[in-house]
Amino acid sequence: MPVIKNNYASEVNTPKVPLMIGCSGGGGHIAAIKGILEFLIQTYGGRVKTSTYKPVLYAEKQWTPIRNQIQTGSAAMEYSVVTGVISRLTNLPILPASDSIQEEIIALNQKETAISGAGRGYIDMLLDVYPAGYESAAIWNILQRQDRTSELKKLIKK
C-alpha cells in the first residue's frame, strides 16, 4: 500500500500517529514494519509521531481453550501412531514436539523481555493480541527451521 503524501500533509501542524501492526509469523513481517516506520520518520520527520508499545510477555497471557488444545495436540504428536493416523486420514498439520514448542516459547519470551523496557514501535498481532500467539509463533518458527513446508501450508489453510 503506497504512502500518499497528502495523508501526512496538513494545514494544522499536528503530528500524525500511525497505528503500526506487525506479526511475528516470520521475520519478513517484522523487517517490513521496521522499514515502514523508518521510511515515515525519514520522509515526514516531525509530522509523524511514533508510538511505543510494551510487549505482552508470555506470563501475562491468559490461559484459553485454544492454548490448551495446542498443548494437548503437540503432546499427542509424540506418539507415532497418532501422527500416522493424522497424516493419512486428515489434513491437520503434524505439530512439533511439545518440548520443542516450549523451548521456542522461552526464546521468544526472552527476546520480548529484552525489549520490554524500551518497547517497540508496533503492536505484534501474534505475541500481543492473539491468545495462543506465543504457541503459534513457536510452531511456525520450528516448522520453518525444519523446512516442513507441507505442514506450514496446512497451518495457513487452518
Is the pLDDT at 101 greater than 80? The verdict is: yes
Is the pLDDT at 47 greater than 70? The verdict is: yes
Which percentage of the chain shows pLDDT scores above 70? 91
Which single residue is written with the C-alpha cell 518497547? Answer: 119
pLDDT band at residue 27 under the 50/70/90 scheme: low
CA distance 23 to 10: 30
Instruction: Dump pLDDT digits (tens) for 110-123.
Output: 999 999 999 998 99
CA distance 51 to 58: 22
Range of 7-11, 90-94, 107-111 with top mean pLDDT = 107-111
The residue count of the chain comes to 158
For residue 30, which of 96, 120, 145 has the smallest C-alpha distance? 120
User: With contact defined as beta carbons under 8 Å apart, do 133 and 70 qualify?
Assistant: no
pLDDT band at residue 143 under the 50/70/90 scheme: very high
User: With contact defined as beta carbons under 8 Å apart, do 98 and 32 qualify?
Assistant: no
Is the pTM of the predicted complex or chain greater than 0.75? yes
CA distance 136 to 74: 12
**Triad 36, 38, 42: Cα angle to 5°:** 120
Range of 8-17, 19-28, 146-155 with top mean pLDDT = 146-155
CA distance 137 to 145: 12
In degrees rounded to 5, what are phi and psi of residue 49? -110, 125
Instruction: Dump pLDDT digits (tens) for 29-46.
Output: 888 988 998 898 888 887
